[in-house]
């Protein structure tokens, strides 16, 4: 009975919040689950309880905000609650308010909340809170300028950003290809008390490479020791990818040597970038050699590594070596691509290597790929090319085969 009375007192207290001089707010609380719901006859039973229960704890406020069905009502509730004597906001409450407003895509209201917090100055916020707000502006609202403004406005809330929050903003800008702004934000690090780390410099390298400014990206390597940082494998992999994509394989190989000389161990991604660059330049022998070096360093190739080598062998007409490479892939549990099957079958058929054609075809079907009509035609003609009795009827046999294949759903 006592617990029931307390719940009813909470009801009347909540009613007093929303029946004050401010306009009424449609909270739309669920009647079945809310502890503030009651029957129409009960409101007049305990009016005197209001004078004994003039307090809402932070947990009770959080509970109310969570139960508000429509985010558009959250700001109005916050306004009316702020007029009460027991108004005592904290980080958890405002984090929830911002989340609920973001849920309703009410980003202008989030700005109002931030202005209210700045004006009140009656509690301290953490870097985590601002990271949350910036993430909403950047990833949900698409308001990158507001994300930047919030970052640089943090000291006005008596809170200084962490390098994690700073780097998050930099990465947002790189992803949005706002490369000019990236440099401006980076130069503003001292104002925010940010101590630059390797992650921050890697983001700069990434942005410069994506913008095509490879020379500037390479110069960032000189910035690492000045910031008491060391470039890592991610730094070099990003630079190597940019150089290879730009066709500057020579500079990429020089940088790879520098990387090893500085004691930075390449990983699978690093090797894959270089092998792909060598393949595009048709330097497949060097790619195979690099594959061997990769294994000696204890860095194990993945499907992408073998696939690049396989494409290189196929592009240079080395079909026997390509067959062996494909066999190695399959034996190690890796699946070649449909394109590589198609190219290898075509090459083996031209060389009339029927046994190899049979093996590749079986592997292809086992992997779930079905040869197209044009491929079947090439395969059949290869298989029948050694039979003089069938040379003249190859087209006829092929047409019958296509009809059978269509009936089986294979063509």
pLDDT digits (tens, 9 = 90+) for 319-350: 999 999 999 999 999 999 999 999 999 999 98
Reported as a single tens digit per residue, the pLDDT across 285-310 is: 999 999 999 988 889 899 999 999 99
Helix (H) or strand (E) holding 321: helix 319-331
Q: Which tokens belong to 130?
A: 């601002």
Average the pLDDT over each of 2-6, 113-117, 212-216, 262-266 and give the range with the smallest value.
2-6
Residue 46: predicted pLDDT: 23
Q: Which residues contact 169 (CB under 8 A, 6 or more apart)?
A: 134, 138, 147, 148, 151, 185
pLDDT band at 54 (very low <50, low <70, confident <90, very high): low
Residues in CB range of 10: below 8 A, 6 or more apart: 35, 36, 53, 60
What string of DSSP letters covers 246-289?
Answer: TT-HHHHHHHHHHHHHTTPPP-HHHHHHHHHHHHHTT-HHHHHH
Q: What percent of the chain has pLDDT over 70?
A: 80
C-alpha span between 17 and 24 (Å, rounded) = 9
Please name the residue that has the structure tokens 């063509």: 411
pLDDT surpassing 50 at residue 259: yes
List of residues 6+ apart from 390 with CB closer than 8 A: 384, 397
Which of 30-44, 73-87, 186-200, 209-223 is predicted with the least confidence, judged by mean pLDDT?
30-44
pLDDT at 280 exceeding the cut of 70? yes
The predicted pLDDT at position 232 comes to 96
**Dist. CA 58–CA 388, nearest whole Å:** 91
Question: Of 121-125, 138-142, 330-334, which range is least confident?
Answer: 121-125
Question: Tokens at residue 68, please?
Answer: 């508000």
């Amino acid at each position: 009975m006592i617990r029931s009375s307390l719940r009813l007192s909470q009801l009347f207290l909540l009613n007093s919040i929303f029946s004050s001089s401010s306009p009424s707010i449609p909270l739309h609380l669920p009647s079945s689950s809310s502890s503030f719901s009651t029957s129409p006859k009960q409101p007049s039973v305990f009016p005197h309880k209001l004078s004994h229960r003039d307090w809402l704890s932070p947990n009770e406020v959080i509970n109310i905000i969570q139960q508000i069905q429509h985010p558009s009502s959250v700001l109005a509730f916050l306004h009316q609650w702020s007029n009460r004597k027991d108004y005592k906001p904290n980080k958890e409450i405002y984090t929830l308010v911002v989340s609920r407003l973001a849920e309703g895509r009410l980003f202008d209201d989030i700005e109002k909340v931030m202005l209210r917090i700045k004006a009140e100055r009656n509690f301290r916020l953490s870097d985590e809170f601002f990271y949350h707000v910036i993430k909403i502006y950047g990833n949900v609202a698409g308001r990158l300028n507001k994300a930047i403004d919030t970052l640089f406005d943090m000291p006005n809330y008596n809170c200084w950003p962490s390098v994690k929050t700073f780097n998050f903003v930099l990465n947002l800008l790189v992803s949005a290809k706002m490369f000019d702004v990236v440099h401006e934000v980076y130069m503003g690090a001292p104002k925010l008390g940010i101590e630059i780390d390797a992650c921050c410099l890697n983001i700069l390298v990434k942005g410069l490479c994506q913008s095509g400014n490879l020379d500037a990206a390479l110069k960032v390597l000189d910035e690492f020791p000045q910031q008491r940082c060391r470039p890592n494998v991610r730094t070099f992999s990003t630079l190597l990818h940019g150089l290879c994509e730009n066709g500057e394989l020579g500079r990429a190989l020089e940088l790879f040597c520098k990387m090893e000389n500085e004691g930075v161990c390449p990983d699978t991604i690093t090797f894959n970038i270089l092998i792909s660059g060598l393949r595009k330049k048709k330097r497949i022998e060097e790619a195979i050699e690099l594959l061997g070096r990769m294994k000696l360093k204890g860095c194990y190739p993945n499907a992408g590594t073998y696939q690049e080598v396989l494409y290189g062998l196929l592009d240079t007409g080395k079909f026997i070596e390509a067959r062996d490479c494909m066999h190695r892939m399959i034996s190690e549990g890796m699946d070649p691509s449909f394109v590589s099957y198609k190219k290898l079958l075509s090459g083996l058929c031209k060389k009339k290597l029927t046994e190899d054609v049979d093996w590749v075809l079986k592997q292809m079907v086992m992997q779930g790929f079905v040869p197209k009509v044009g491929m079947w035609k090439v395969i059949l003609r290869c298989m029948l090319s050694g039979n003089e009795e069938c040379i003249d009827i190859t087209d006829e046999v092929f047409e019958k085969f296509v009809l059978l294949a269509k009936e089986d759903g294979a063509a």
